[in-house]
């Protein structure tokens, strides 16, 4: 039996991971440490066999107490400020949480585990954005690609990756790191492209496409990501990093066109949707694509990300199960079936924040 401490487990990927792990390892103990920032949500853990402790990863005394009292042997670190746009508006929180927060966890892990002979693992969840941006014909990011972060978000994640590496090399801490591409799926906070655009489409609000919409991302269904992390925990070599991708490289405009067509089809197949969402163009017989609005580009916007995950495939037996089409259809279905989940978020401080910071999003470029 293992005892896991999952930081950020009330966020998007963390809560999907807790669902995956508790379903596949019912004998294990799972403790979630989450500050419940705007992105954290108690409801994401509803019905799961996991204990939620509300607290800050920077609180070393709390983390040390949790490791001792729960006899933790595996720390899976998701907690972060995770949205690039927010990092452009206010980078400080990213340094605080992603850099100093990760360092606080490493310090506790070193004290409790390094050199003690106790079996342990510190797994750090990171991003492909640390590798920077690719040209159209460049090979995909491998674990050997030099780091070249371009946003305050990716720079803070790169710093945390380096600290994890250093704690392995210097102190012998048993670390692993995974760098994944853009996730999507259930419980995705509606400030990121896919959930934001689904909810905007249902309300008849513009779909703000940054720049020319030809930026490319490699879309990874969150369940595949969770399977990948589990494979690293089981079979990953200590001190190594593994790239986890979805094998679904798509320009944003293709994702948005898929989304618009899928919303139209859902309304055509289910007349009750028009009553639930009367402001949606699809409720009025108009295509959802009429909401597409090209707006000013994000400053420093990375053009293309692509993941080469052959190392995870050959060493860990990882492979993504979802195609983008199947994964997106499941995701749209989830958002249509879980209106109360996202309404709970939209009714909070979120809308106020969007209004203050993204007022310009409705303006055509």
> Do β-strands 249-251 and 216-218 pair in parallel, antiparallel, or remain unpaired?
antiparallel
Look at strands 183-184 and 3-7 and give their pairing.
unpaired
Stretch that binds ligand NAD, among 18-26, 176-184, 203-211, 305-313 (CB under 6 A): 176-184
CA 40, chain centre distance (Å): 12
As a whole number of angstroms, the distance between CA 274 and CA 95 comes to 44
Does 102 sit near ligand NAD (CB under 6 A)? no
Q: Which is catalytic among the residues 34, 56, 81, 128?
A: 128
**CA pair distance 63, 10, nearest whole angstrom:** 16
Binding of residue 22 to ligand NAD (CB under 6 A):
no
Q: Is 133 in the site for ligand NAD (CB under 6 A)?
A: no
For residues 309 and 169, give the distance between their C-alpha atoms in angstroms, rounded to a whole number.
Answer: 24
- Residue in this structure with the two tokens 């990716």, named with its chain if needed: 154
Q: Of the candidates 209, 226, 263, 280, which one interacts with ligand TYD according to CB under 6 A?
A: 209
Binding to ligand NAD by residue 309, rule CB under 6 A? no
Burial 302-335 (b: 16+ CB within 10 A, else e): bebbbbbbebbbeebebebebebeebbbebbebb
What's the closest the beta carbon of residue 86 comes to ligand NAD, in angstroms?
9
Q: How many residues bind ligand TYD (CB under 6 A)?
A: 12
**With respect to ligand NAD, which residue has the nearer C-beta, 143 or 290?**
143
Asked if residue 157 lies in contact with residue 141, where contact means CB atoms within 8 angstroms, the answer is no
Which of 12, 122, 210, 324 lies at the binding interface for ligand TYD (CB under 6 A)? Answer: 210
Q: Which stretch binds ligand TYD (CB under 6 A): 69-77, 208-216, 242-250, 311-319?
A: 208-216
One residue of 29, 124, 217, 227 binding ligand TYD per CB under 6 A? 217
d(CA 336, CA 342): 10
- Structure tokens belonging to residue 324: 């983008």
For this structure, is 318 an active site residue? Answer: no
> Does residue 183 touch ligand TYD according to CB under 6 A?
no
By the rule CB under 6 A, 193 interacts with ligand TYD: yes
Binding-site member from 16, 145, 178, 182 for ligand TYD (CB under 6 A): 182
Measure the CA dihedral 222/41/176/63, to 10°. -170
| Residue 36 touches which member of ligand NAD, ligand TYD, none, C-beta under 5-8 Å by kind | ligand NAD
Residue 8 in contact with ligand NAD, rule: CB under 6 A: yes
- Hey, which residues between 58 and 87 contact ligand NAD (CB under 6 A)? 58, 78-80, 82
Q: Closer to ligand NAD by CB, 226 or 273: give it.
A: 226
Q: Is position 50 an interface residue for ligand NAD (rule: CB under 6 A)?
A: no
- Does residue number 195 form part of the binding site for ligand NAD (CB under 6 A)? no
- Both tokens assigned to 241: 């990093």
Chosen from ligand TYD, ligand NAD, none, partner binding at 175 (C-beta under 5 to 8 Å by type) = none
- The answer to whether the Cα torsion of 236, 162, 19, 260 is positive or negative is negative
Single out the segment in contact with ligand NAD by CB under 6 A; choices: 27-35, 260-268, 292-300, 306-314: 27-35
- The residue within the footprint of ligand TYD, chosen from 16, 22, 102, 252 (CB under 6 A), is 252
- Quick one: 69 or 349, whose CB is closer to ligand TYD? 349
Instruction: Give first-to-last CA distance, the chain, whole Å.
Output: 55
Decide: 106 and 141 in contact? Cβ < 8 Å: no
Residue 79 binding target from ligand TYD, ligand NAD, none, CB below 5 to 8 Å by type: ligand NAD
Report how far apart, in Å, the C-alpha atoms of 127 and of each of 141, 157, 239, 338 are: 11, 7, 17, 27
Backbone phi, psi, residue 282, to 5°:
-65, -20
DSSP state of 101: I
Using only C-alpha atoms, what is the Rg of the chain? 20
Decide if residue 332 touches ligand TYD (CB under 6 A): no
Residues forming the active site: 128-129, 153
């Amino acid at each position: 039996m293992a005892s896991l401490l999952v930081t950020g487990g009330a966020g998007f990927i963390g809560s999907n991971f807790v669902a995956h792990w508790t379903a596949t390892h019912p004998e294990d103990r799972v403790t979630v440490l989450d500050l419940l920032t705007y992105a954290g949500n108690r409801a994401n853990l509803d019905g799961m066999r996991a204990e939620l402790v509300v607290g800050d990863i920077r609180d070393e005394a709390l983390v040390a107490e949790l490791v001792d009292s729960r006899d933790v042997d595996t720390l899976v670190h998701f907690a972060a400020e995770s949205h690039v746009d927010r990092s452009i508006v206010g980078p400080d929180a990213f340094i605080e949480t992603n850099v100093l927060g990760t360092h606080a966890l490493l310090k506790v892990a070193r004290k409790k585990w390094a050199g003690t002979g106790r079996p342990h693992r510190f797994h750090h969840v990171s991003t492909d954005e640390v590798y920077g941006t690719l040209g159209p014909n460049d090979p995909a990011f491998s674990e050997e690609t030099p780091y070249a972060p371009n946003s305050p978000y990716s720079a803070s994640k790169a710093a945390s990756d380096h600290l994890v590496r250093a704690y392995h090399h210097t102190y012998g801490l048993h670390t692993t790191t995974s760098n994944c591409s853009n996730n999507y799926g259930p419980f995705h906070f509606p400030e990121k492209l896919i959930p934001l655009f689904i909810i905007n489409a249902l309300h008849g609000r513009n779909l703000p496409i940054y720049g020319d919409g030809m930026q490319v991302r490699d879309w990874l269904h969150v369940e595949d990501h969770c399977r990948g992390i589990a494979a690293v925990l089981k079979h990953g070599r200590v001190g190594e990093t593994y790239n986890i991708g979805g094998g679904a490289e798509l320009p944003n405009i293709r994702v948005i066109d898929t989304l618009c067509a899928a919303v139209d089809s859902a309304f055509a197949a289910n007349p009750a949707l028009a009553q639930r969402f009367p402001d949606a163009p699809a409720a009025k017989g108009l295509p959802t694509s009429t909401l597409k609005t090209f707006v000013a580009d994000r400053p420093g916007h990375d053009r293309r990300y692509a993941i080469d995950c052959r190392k995870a495939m050959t060493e860990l037996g990882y492979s993504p199960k979802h195609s983008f089409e199947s994964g997106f259809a499941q995701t749209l279905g989830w958002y249509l079936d879980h209106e109360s989940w996202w309404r709970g978020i939209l009714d909070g401080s979120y809308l106020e924040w969007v209004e203050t910071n993204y007022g310009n999003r409705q303006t055509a470029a």
